[in-house]
């Protein structure tokens, strides 16, 4: 799955509640919980990079990307907003 597809699923969960959805639980818990999860995942990326192997790094980065997309969606921001910022920096 690519990031735009994941982003779309997350946005769909925000609009259409799905019972038992982890994404919906994060939205319900609020921004503080989402930010906490991002912090945890960032630390796990660092730990993985410092000795847990490439597969673990990939897994933890995927978790970090997911939680970051949840934060963006919770604030009404989009992956396109981030891409636009990256494009500005590239010029």
pLDDT score for 91: 77
Burial class (CB in 10 A: 0-12, 13-18, 19+), 76: exposed
Q: Which domain holds residue 44?
A: 3-90
Number of domains, the chain:
1
Residues of the chain with pLDDT under 70: none
Using a pLDDT cut of 90, give the percent of the chain over it.
93
Distances in Å between the Cα of 64 and the Cα atoms of 15, 17, 88 are 22, 22, 23
Write b or e for each residue in 10-33: b if 16 or more Cβ atoms lie within 10 A of its Cβ, otherwise e.
bbebbeeeeeeeebeebbeeeeee
The CATH number covering residue 13 comes to: 1.10.287.1080
- What does the alpha-carbon distance between residue 32 and residue 19 come to, in Å, rounded to a whole number? 22
pLDDT score for 50: 97
pLDDT score for 33: 97
pLDDT score for 82: 95
């Amino acid at each position: 799955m690519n990031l735009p597809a994941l982003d779309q699923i997350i946005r769909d969960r925000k609009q259409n509640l799905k019972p038992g959805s982890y994404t919906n639980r994060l939205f319900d818990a609020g921004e503080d919980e989402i930010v906490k999860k991002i912090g945890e995942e960032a630390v796990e990326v660092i730990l993985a990079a410092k000795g847990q192997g490439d597969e673990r790094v990939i897994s933890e980065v995927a978790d970090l990307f997911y939680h970051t997309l949840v934060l963006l969606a919770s604030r009404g921001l989009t992956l396109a907003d981030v891409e636009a910022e990256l494009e500005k920096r590239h010029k």
